[in-house]
C-alpha cells in the first residue's frame, strides 16, 4: 500500500503543534516499516491500519501492509485462540476439537488434558505461519505483527526490529493457549498493549502502552447532514419517530448481543423506543453467521428491533449515519480489547453505555462520558435515565467528544508509534531528537 495522506488535513481538529511534532519525529525513522495482520477488512485492526498506513507514507516513511492467508482449519484454530486468550477456554476447546477430531467431553479439565497431549491445533497454527513466512518478504527494518494469528512469523526473523502488537484482552488467558503463544512472542524485541491491565509480566521483553484510535476524517466519522442520515435510515426501513438505541459490532458472542436485546426489552416496557443491531462477520471469524442466526431468533416478533447484517459490509457512511441518528449507543461487551465503536460514538457526541471490561473504561469515564455496566438490568436503567433526561444525555455526549479529541484520535496514535520505533534503536528507552 503506497497511498499517501497528509497529517495537515487534521490541523483544524488537533492544532498545529502536534502535527509539527509528528513531522519532526518522522525524520528520525531511519528505515522501512511493515505491518502484518490477518485481514484487510472487518474489525478494528484493519480499520486502524487503513488510516494509519497512508499517514506513515505521507510522512515520507516507506511502509507496507501485508495480510497472512490460511485455510478454514487455521482460522477456526485462531478464533479458538482469540476466545481462549480472552478467558473463554470452553469456546476454544469446542472450536478446536471440531478440527482436531478431539471429542467434546463433559469435563473441561479432561478436554484441556486431551488437547495438551495431541497438539493438533498448535501444529495447524505453526504450519500456516511457516507457509506465510515462506511466501512473504519479511525484511523491513521495523516489523509490526498484529495479534495472535501471525505471531509465529518471528521464528524466521532475519533482521530488523520486531514488535508484537496485541489488540485483545490477555489479562486472564487460558493457560494452555497463552503458554504456547508466549514462546514466539517472547522472541520479539517489544510488545504493545492497549491498557496496563493487558500487560504480561511473564514475557520478559519491553512492553509499551498504545491505546487504539479512530480517524475523524474517515467516512465513518466525518460530519453528516441530516439529509444524508435520513437517506441511510430510509434505505433500511428505520423511522425516527422514537428514540434509537444502537450497537454496532461484529456478530460475536463476546459482544453480548442477546444482553443488549434484553436491556432494550426492559426499557421498552416503560417507554417506546427502537433498537438497531448493525454489524458484519469478520473474514477470519468462522462463528459469526451462527451468532447472527441466534440474534435473529431472539429478536423475532419485535418490529422495533432492526438486526442488520452488512453483507457485503456496510459502507462506512452507513455506520456513521446509524450512530448519528441514535439517542444512546451501546457496546455491552463481555470482553473487549478496546472497542473502537465506543470512541466513534463518543466522537459523535452521543452518550455511550459499555460493558466494564477491557479497554472500554479507558474511554468511558463513568457518569462523565458515559456509563459502565455489568448486567442487562444495569444497562436498561442507564438507558431509561438518558432517554428521560435529554439535557443529561447532551452534556455527557459533549464530554465524550472532548475526551476522544484529546486521547483517541489517529494523530495521537501515530505519534505513539513513531516514538516507539525510535525508542527501539535505543536500549535505554531515551528518545533523542
What's the pLDDT at 113? 53
Residue 399 lies in a domain: yes
The verdict on 17 and 39 lying in the same domain is yes
- CA–CA dist 3, 58 (Å, integer): 8
Q: Which residues pair with 145 in a beta bridge?
A: 36, 164
Q: How far apart are the first and last CA of the chain?
A: 28
Taking residues 72-78, what's their average pLDDT?
90
In three-state secondary structure terms, 206 is: strand
219-233 mean pLDDT: 97
Per-residue confidence (pLDDT) for residue 131, from 0 to 100 = 96
Q: Are residues 138 and 276 in the same domain?
A: no
pLDDT for position 427: 59
Rounded mean pLDDT of 360-388? 97
Q: Which of 113-117, 175-179, 303-307, 423-427 has the highest mean pLDDT?
A: 303-307
Give the pLDDT score at 82.
87
Cβ density class 398-409: b for 16+ within 10 Å, e for less: ebbeebbeeebb
Helix locations, 27-88, DSSP H: 44-58, 72-85
DSSP E strand boundaries for 119-260: 142-146, 161-165, 190-193, 206-209, 244-248
Residue, of 114 and 323, whose pLDDT is higher? 323
pTM summary value: 0.87
Is position 303 within any domain?
yes
Q: How many domains does the chain have?
A: 2
Burial group, residue 44, by CB count within 10 angstroms (0-12, 13-18, 19+): buried
| C-beta separation of 83 from 252 below 8 A | no
* pLDDT tier, 312 (very low <50, low <70, confident <90, very high otherwise): confident
DSSP state of 68: -
Residue 321 has pLDDT above 90, yes or no: yes
Going by C-beta distance under 8 Å and a sequence separation of 6 or more, which residues neighbour residue 113?
none
Residues 257-297 have pLDDT tens digits of 999 999 999 999 999 999 999 998 876 677 888 999 999 99
Point out which residues pair with 373 in neighbouring strands. 355
pLDDT grade for 428, boundaries at 50, 70 and 90: low
Q: Are strands 63-67 and 142-146 parallel, antiparallel or unpaired?
A: unpaired
Would you call 277 helix, strand, or coil by DSSP? Answer: strand
Percentage of the chain exceeding pLDDT 90: 76
- The answer to whether 132 touches 152, Cβ cutoff 8 Å, is no
Q: Specify whether the CB–CB gap between 147 and 45 falls below 8 A.
A: yes
Residue 93 scores a pLDDT above 80: no
For residue 128, list its beta bridge partners. Answer: none
What's the helix, strand, coil split of the chain in %, to 5? 50, 15, 40
pLDDT of residue 198: 92
Q: Do 281 and 362 belong together in one domain?
A: yes
Report the interhelical angle of 340-347 vs 44-58 (nearest 10°): 70
Instruction: Map grid coordinates 419517530 to a residue.
Output: 241
| Pair 344, 403 in one domain | yes
Residues 6+ apart with CB under 8 A from 57: 1, 2, 3, 4, 5, 63
pLDDT at 264: 98
Which pLDDT tens digit goes with each residue over 294-311? 999 999 999 999 999 987
The values of phi and psi at residue 8, to 5°, are -75, -10
- Give domain status of residue 293, yes or no: yes
What does the DSSP 8-state code read for residue 431? Answer: -
Beta bridge partners of 279: 309
| Same domain, residue pair 275 and 335 | yes
Which three cell numbers mark 261?
A: 436485546
Residue 218 counted as domain residue: no
Distances in whole angstroms, Cα of residue 143 to Cα of each of 34, 37, 203: 5, 11, 18
pLDDT of residue 363: 97
Query: Residue 170 above 80 pLDDT?
Result: yes
Considering the domain architecture, whether residues 48 and 184 belong to the same structural domain is answered as yes
Instruction: Identify whether residues 238 and 376 lie together within a single domain.
Output: yes
Q: Is 225 helix (H, G, I), strand (E, B) or coil?
A: coil
Higher per-residue confidence, 97 vs 399: 399
Q: How many other C-beta atoms are found inside a 10 Å radius of the C-beta of residue 253?
A: 18
The dihedral built from the CA positions of residue 277, 281, 287 and 292, taken in this order, carries a sign that is positive
Q: Is residue 94 part of a domain?
A: no
Q: Which uninterrupted H or E stretch holds 179?
A: helix 175-185
CA pair distance 355, 370, nearest whole angstrom = 11
User: For residue 413, what pLDDT is reported?
Assistant: 97
Is the same domain home to 28 and 39?
A: yes
pLDDT, average across residues 352-357: 96
pLDDT of residue 110: 54
Q: Each residue of 33-71: pLDDT tens digit?
A: 999 999 888 778 999 999 999 999 999 999 999 999 999
Task: Give the model's pLDDT for residue 43.
Answer: 78
**Domain CATH for 285:** 3.40.50.2000
pLDDT at 88: 54
> Do residue 180 and residue 284 come from a single domain?
no
What band does 105 get if pLDDT is binned at 50, 70 and 90?
A: very low
Helix (H, G, I), strand (E, B) or coil at 309: strand
> What is the rounded average pLDDT of the residues 78-82?
87
Asked, for residue 2, whether it belongs to a domain, the answer is no
Let me know how long the chain is.
Answer: 433
Residue 197 lies inside a defined structural domain of this protein: yes
Q: Are the C-beta atoms of 115 and 93 separated by less than 8 Å?
A: yes
* Same domain flag for 157 and 246: no
Q: In the structure, what pLDDT confidence band is assigned to residue 91 with cuts at 50, 70 and 90?
A: very low
Indicate whether 398 and 416 sit together in one domain.
Answer: no
Question: DSSP states of 357-401 as a string?
Answer: STTHHHH--BTTTEEEESSHHHHHHHHHHHHH-HHHHHHHHHHHH
Q: Which three cell numbers stand for residue 6?
A: 497528509
Domain that holds residue 402: 226-407
The gap from C-alpha 246 to its chain's centroid, in whole angstroms, comes to: 18
Do 39 and 173 belong together in one domain? yes
Amino acid at each position: 500500500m503506497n497511498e499517501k495522506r497528509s497529517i495537515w488535513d487534521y490541523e483544524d481538529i488537533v492544532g498545529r503543534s502536534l502535527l509539527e511534532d509528528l513531522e519532526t519525529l518522522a525524520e528520525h525513522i531511519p528505515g522501512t516499516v511493515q505491518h502484518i495482520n490477518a485481514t484487510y477488512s472487518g474489525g478494528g485492526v484493519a480499520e486502524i491500519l487503513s488510516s494509519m498506513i497512508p499517514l506513515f507514507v505521507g510522512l515520507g516513511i516507506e511502509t507496507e501492509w501485508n495480510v497472512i492467508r490460511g485455510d478454514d482449519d487455521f482460522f477456526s484454530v485462531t478464533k479458538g485462540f482469540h476466545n481462549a486468550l480472552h478467558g473463554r477456554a470452553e469456546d476454544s476447546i469446542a472450536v478446536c476439537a471440531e478440527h482436531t477430531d478431539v471429542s467434546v467431553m463433559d469435563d473441561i479439565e479432561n478436554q484441556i488434558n486431551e488437547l495438551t497431549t495431541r497438539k493438533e491445533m498448535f501444529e495447524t497454527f505453526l504450519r500456516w505461519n511457516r507457509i506465510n513466512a515462506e511466501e512473504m518478504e519479511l525484511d523491513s527494518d521495523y516489523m509490526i505483527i498484529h495479534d495472535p494469528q501471525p505471531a509465529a512469523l518471528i521464528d524466521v526473523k532475519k533482521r530488523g526490529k520486531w514488535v508484537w502488537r496485541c489488540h485483545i484482552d490477555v489479562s486472564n488467558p487460558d493457560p494452555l493457549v497463552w503458554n504456547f503463544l508466549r514462546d514466539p512472542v517472547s522472541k520479539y524485541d517489544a510488545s504493545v498493549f492497549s491498557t496496563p491491565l493487558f500487560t504480561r509480566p511473564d514475557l520478559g521483553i519491553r512492553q509499551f502502552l498504545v491505546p487504539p484510535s479512530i480517524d475523524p476524517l474517515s467516512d465513518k466519522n466525518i460530519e453528516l447532514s441530516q439529509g444524508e442520515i435520513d437517506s441511510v435510515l430510509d434505505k433500511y426501513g428505520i423511522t425516527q419517530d422514537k428514540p434509537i438505541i444502537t450497537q454496532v459490532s461484529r456478530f460475536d458472542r463476546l459482544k453480548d448481543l442477546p444482553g443488549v436485546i434484553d436491556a432494550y426489552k426492559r426499557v421498552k416496557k416503560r417507554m417506546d423506543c427502537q433498537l438497531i443491531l448493525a454489524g458484519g462477520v469478520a473474514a477470519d471469524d468462522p462463528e459469526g453467521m451462527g451468532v447472527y442466526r441466534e440474534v435473529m431468533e431472539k429478536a423475532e416478533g419485535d418490529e422495533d428491533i432492526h438486526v442488520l447484517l452488512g453483507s457485503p459490509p456496510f459502507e462506512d457512511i452507513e455506520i456513521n449515519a446509524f450512530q448519528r441518528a441514535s439517542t444512546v449507543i451501546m457496546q455491552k461487551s463481555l470482553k473487549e480489547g478496546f472497542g473502537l465503536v465506543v470512541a466513534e460514538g463518543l466522537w459523535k457526541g452521543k452518550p455511550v453505555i459499555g460493558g466494564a471490561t477491557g479497554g472500554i473504561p479507558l474511554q468511558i469515564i463513568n457518569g462523565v462520558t458515559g456509563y459502565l455496566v455489568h448486567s442487562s438490568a444495569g444497562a436498561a436503567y442507564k438507558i431509561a435515565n438518558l432517554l428521560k433526561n435529554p439535557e443529561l444525555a447532551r452534556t455527557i455526549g459533549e464530554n465524550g467528544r472532548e475526551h476522544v479529541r484529546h486521547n483517541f484520535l489517529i494523530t495521537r496514535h501515530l505519534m505513539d508509534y513513531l516514538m516507539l520505533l525510535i525508542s527501539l534503536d535505543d536500549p535505554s528507552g531515551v528518545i533523542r531528537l
